[in-house]
Structure 1
Amino acid sequence: MKLSLKNIGKIETASVEINGITVIAGENNTGKSTVGRALFAVFNSFYNIQKQIESERVQNIENLIDMMYRNVTNRYTRRFDSGEIAQKIVAQIYLYKDDTEAVKDIIVKTILQYDENFEKHIGDNSIDEYIVRIKDGLNVADLDIFKSVLEKKLDAEFAGEVNNIFTDKTGEIVLSIKDTNIIVTIEDNAVKSVVGKIDLHTQTVYIDDPFVIDEVRYTYGIDNSSLDHRGYLREKLNKENNANLIDEIIASNKLDNIYRKISTVISGDIVKNKRSGLGYQRKNTDKVLDVKNLSTGFKTFAILKTLLMNGTIEYNGTIILDEPEIHLHPEWQLLFAELIVLIQKEFGVHILLNTHSPYFLNAIEVYAVKYGINDRCKYYLASSQDDISTIGDVTNNIELIYSKLARPLQELENERGRL
């Protein structure tokens, strides 16, 4: 997999390969996170494309049916399921997209099963306007709906500033997977065109803040298409364990080594607590501690373990880790680096990792050699000048990263020498 960016966020140019562990190192505010956000938005937009398009159609029709019912009856409560009607229409779109009367018939007949007075209300209020709008919605092209889905995700990740605000140049995101190139062109922060198509069967999970685990209780009732990576992660942390997948992994010893190492920090499990959020339950006790009361570093491991155990981290999946070392003391940094390497080795996961720590970078290097995956690792250096950032491949000269990141320590040593 390869991701290339032009004039996206702070990035003027970047081209990174992600076939194992890809590390982007650099100082703060050099555009490292821009790569992860772009990857998350584009990759997840191509996950189960047809299902996402159908979901958008259903949501549109459901909203119009609800609006129609309220305006016709002056009632805000209903006993019928407008979503179910919408799903029936979308499931047989070929029957309804050119037949206004058929659309009207299925809606009216279904509502009459629950509200026998609805037909009387229709006599006084025309519903034709809503029926036409529903039919028009059915005739919107799949590509236009997909562009809207992608635009929502990009907007959520970049807060409406997808293009580089310091230039008027067109933005471009190119995602290459196997022999397929997806080219997304962006102008004025809107998706102008999408060339290429691929239906992905795995999703990207993006981890950048351990405190997200405190917010899991607030995930309900949110439009999934507009979730940023933080909201998506909350949903996945709230996911039930996939018992079949766990049994399969344990049986093949894929998870055994990882689980033993992570259990040296977190031996218990993250569970639903009585206050509708998440809690931590240690082994051999029925006591549950609210996750808000866990240390920040502990939460980092709790998130990783939960995503492993509930099947979110899956074979050939993709993980984005944005400076995971921040809240970890040196010993736990080493363990976390080892776990990342083991997850890549055992699951074949594609990992995009941002860091500004030479210590953590070195740990990734060492464990990649230890576990025999150093040939699957790529290293990039992010640099910035005048609000414009570039990212270059330094895999064959990693010392450039250490030189950049270690400079502050050298300056401190120089200061010590002047005392």
Structure 2
Amino acid sequence: MLLKIENLGMVDRANIEINGITIIAGDNNTGKSTIGKALFAIFNALCNSEEKIKDLRKQELNKNIKRICMDYFDKEDLPINLFEMTRRLPRNLSNLLTEHKNIDIENNIQSIINHYQIEITEESLKDLQIKIKNSVDKIMNVSETDLQKEFLQRYFLEVFNEQINSLSNVNSIMDIVLTIKDRDIKIKFSNDRCIKLEVPYKILHEAFYIDDPFIINSLNTKSLSIPFYRGRYFSVEQRHLIDSIEKYDRLKNENVFASLFAEKSLEEIYAILNDVVEGNILFQDNNISLQSKKFNKPININNLSTGLKAFVILKILLERNILKEKDVLILDEPEIHLHPKWQMQYAQIIVLLQKFFDLSIIVTTHSADFLAAIEYYAKKHKNIDKCKFYLAKNEDNFNTFVDVTNETEEIYKQMFIPKFHLDELNYELEENEDE
């Protein structure tokens, strides 16, 4: 998979290969997170777009047909048969139209009206049929491409807080090409509006973005009574992760076999996770807790350390079979709350997840130790050929990304500059003390 970006937010130009684990390092404010957010927006806006469009049409048809019926039979107290008809007619028509498209609208309207014995003149019936048909034609004639563009535009606007086009070049065109299996998804934005979209194939996989272990607290309903969590703003990336975990409860019977297969094939990953997160994660009464021999009763997930929460999120995604083969996983500075020992374990989990799930993983980091751990475990598990390393640079207020896969010392050199500077300061301090 190859991602080419021009003039997106803080990124002037990027050419990023994603064929396993892609690590992006560099100074703050160089657009590292933008790469992962762009991939997240593309995958989740276009994933299963046919089903999303079908549901959207169905909702719009149902809403408009119901409004026409209610306006047409404008009465304060509708008789029960008329009330039932105004519910069934929109529902039946919207279902038929989205499943079969070419149906006889007039006959269906008349059939339902006859079924409920609604008294209506031929002239009034004809007028009602025309109004409904005109509304239906308007909705059904909106092309799938236009609806896809609208989905994508709204997703990008949310992810990038309505600042999609280049922040340094006002009149530029934002241009993205995502190449998968020699086919190109092409996207262009001008003035934060999608002006071009080409999707030559179906996207069937989701992207998961993890940047904040504290979001796990929001899954506990008790947390919602605390003002901090009730009023907290969640990004679209965080909301997607929360919704994916919550959705499992509605689909858990469908995931029984998949969860069992995952557990058996991922014993090595579970061994690492269980070493850090010892015990079982319990979901009871809409609250999450950890049951462990270390505690005399299950401990509320909110009371765990931030670093432990980072591992709990991964454990939930695996145990609930939310993260699936060939999905996209974006980890924005995952080491930030982790002790060096846990950074090494987290790095090993990343390498093994990619190996066993064939995931596309993007990692941004500022830690030399974490970066070295990923390199080490990728070599140990014979997965280093699935790793790409990029250094984000800002030169003359121009943000670009340099492929340093065969020269990773370039990343370490930049990371160690502050240490060298600190050594110089300490040397100066010692000299001053000697004087």
**Counterpart code for 1:158:** F
- 1:221 equivalent in structure 2: none
Shift of 1:94: 2.5
Equivalent pair of 2:177/2:185 in contact (CA under 8 Å): yes
* Structure 2 Cα separation of the partners of residues 398 and 118 of structure 1: 79
Shift of 1:331: 0.9
Q: For 2:172, which of 162, 169, 172 is the aligned residue?
A: 169
- 2:369 equivalent in structure 1: 359
- 1:194 equivalent in structure 2: 197
Shift of 1:217: 5.9
Shift of 1:344: 1.0
RMSD: 3.0
Equivalent pair of 2:263/2:319 in contact (CA under 8 Å): no
Shift of 1:271: 3.2
**Counterpart code for 2:414:** K
- 2:154 equivalent in structure 1: 152
Of 277-286 and 404-413, the range deviating more from structure 2: 277-286
Q: For 1:91, which of 78, 99, 115 is the aligned residue?
A: 99
Shift of 1:392: 1.4
Give secondary structure in 2 for the equivalent of 1:35: helix
**Counterpart code for 2:278:** S
Equivalent pair of 1:215/1:277 in contact (CA under 8 Å): no
* Structure 1 Cα separation of the partners of residues 46 and 182 of structure 2: 15
Equivalent pair of 2:208/2:328 in contact (CA under 8 Å): yes
Deviations 1:2-42 (A, max 9, x none): 11110011101001111111001112111011111110111
Aligned residues: 399
Shift of 1:289: 3.3
Larger radius of gyration: 2
CA 1:397/1:62 → structure 2, altered by over 3 Å: closer, same or farther?
same
Alignment of structure 1 residues 105-184 onto 2, 5 Å: 105=110, 109=113, 132-167=134-169, 168-184=171-187
Deviations 1:274-305 (A, max 9, x none): 2x343333369994433222211111101001
- 2:236 equivalent in structure 1: 228
Give secondary structure in 2 for the equivalent of 1:264: helix
Q: For 1:245, which of 258, 277, 281 is the aligned residue?
A: 258
* Structure 1 Cα separation of the partners of residues 19 and 415 of structure 2: 25
* Structure 2 Cα separation of the partners of residues 158 and 33 of structure 1: 11
Give secondary structure in 1 for the equivalent of 2:334: coil
Deviations 1:222-275 (A, max 9, x none): xxxxx8221110112222452201222344xx211110110011123333332x
- 1:265 equivalent in structure 2: 276
Deviations 1:385-406 (A, max 9, x none): 4553111111111111111122
Deviations 1:301-357 (A, max 9, x none): 010011111112222222111111111111111110011011111121111111111
* Structure 1 Cα separation of the partners of residues 305 and 206 of structure 2: 28
**Counterpart code for 1:38:** A
Give secondary structure in 2 for the equivalent of 1:181: strand
CA 1:37/1:55 → structure 2, altered by over 3 Å: closer, same or farther?
same
* Structure 1 Cα separation of the partners of residues 294 and 340 of structure 2: 29
Give secondary structure in 1 for the equivalent of 2:276: coil
**Counterpart code for 1:246:** S
Equivalent pair of 1:20/1:348 in contact (CA under 8 Å): yes
**Counterpart code for 1:18:** I
- 1:305 equivalent in structure 2: 315
**Counterpart code for 2:363:** L
CA 1:340/1:93 → structure 2, altered by over 3 Å: closer, same or farther?
same
* Structure 1 Cα separation of the partners of residues 299 and 386 of structure 2: 39
Of 157-166 and 8-17, the range deviating more from structure 2: 157-166
- 2:42 equivalent in structure 1: 42
Shift of 1:104: 4.9
- 2:227 equivalent in structure 1: none
* Structure 1 Cα separation of the partners of residues 28 and 133 of structure 2: 53
Deviations 1:357-409 (A, max 9, x none): 11111111111111110111000011124553111111111111111122112
- State the percentage of identical aligned residues: 32
Shift of 1:59: 2.5
Equivalent pair of 2:262/2:321 in contact (CA under 8 Å): no
Equivalent pair of 2:3/2:17 in contact (CA under 8 Å): yes
Alignment of structure 1 residues 321-360 onto 2, 5 Å: 321-360=331-370
CA 1:269/1:155 → structure 2, altered by over 3 Å: closer, same or farther?
farther
**Counterpart code for 1:249:** A
Q: For 1:379, which of 389, 399, 421 is the aligned residue?
A: 389
* Structure 2 Cα separation of the partners of residues 102 and 354 of structure 1: 59
Of 198-207 and 15-24, the range deviating more from structure 2: 198-207
Give secondary structure in 1 for the equivalent of 2:135: helix
CA 1:279/1:178 → structure 2, altered by over 3 Å: closer, same or farther?
same
Equivalent pair of 1:41/1:157 in contact (CA under 8 Å): yes
Q: Does 1:402 align with 2:408?
A: no
* Structure 2 Cα separation of the partners of residues 10 and 50 of structure 1: 32
CA 1:334/1:86 → structure 2, altered by over 3 Å: closer, same or farther?
same
Equivalent pair of 2:4/2:16 in contact (CA under 8 Å): yes
- 1:206 equivalent in structure 2: 209
Give secondary structure in 2 for the equivalent of 1:325: helix
CA 1:372/1:65 → structure 2, altered by over 3 Å: closer, same or farther?
same
Equivalent pair of 2:157/2:163 in contact (CA under 8 Å): yes
**Counterpart code for 1:93:** K
CA 1:285/1:363 → structure 2, altered by over 3 Å: closer, same or farther?
closer
CA 1:348/1:69 → structure 2, altered by over 3 Å: closer, same or farther?
same
- 2:8 equivalent in structure 1: 8
Note the residue ranges of structure 2 that are not aligned, 5 or more in a row.
222-234, 430-435
* Structure 1 Cα separation of the partners of residues 31 and 204 of structure 2: 28
CA 1:142/1:397 → structure 2, altered by over 3 Å: closer, same or farther?
same
Equivalent pair of 1:334/1:360 in contact (CA under 8 Å): yes
Note the residue ranges of structure 1 that are not aligned, 5 or more in a row.
219-226
- 2:433 equivalent in structure 1: none
* Structure 1 Cα separation of the partners of residues 108 and 47 of structure 2: 30
Greater helix proportion: 2
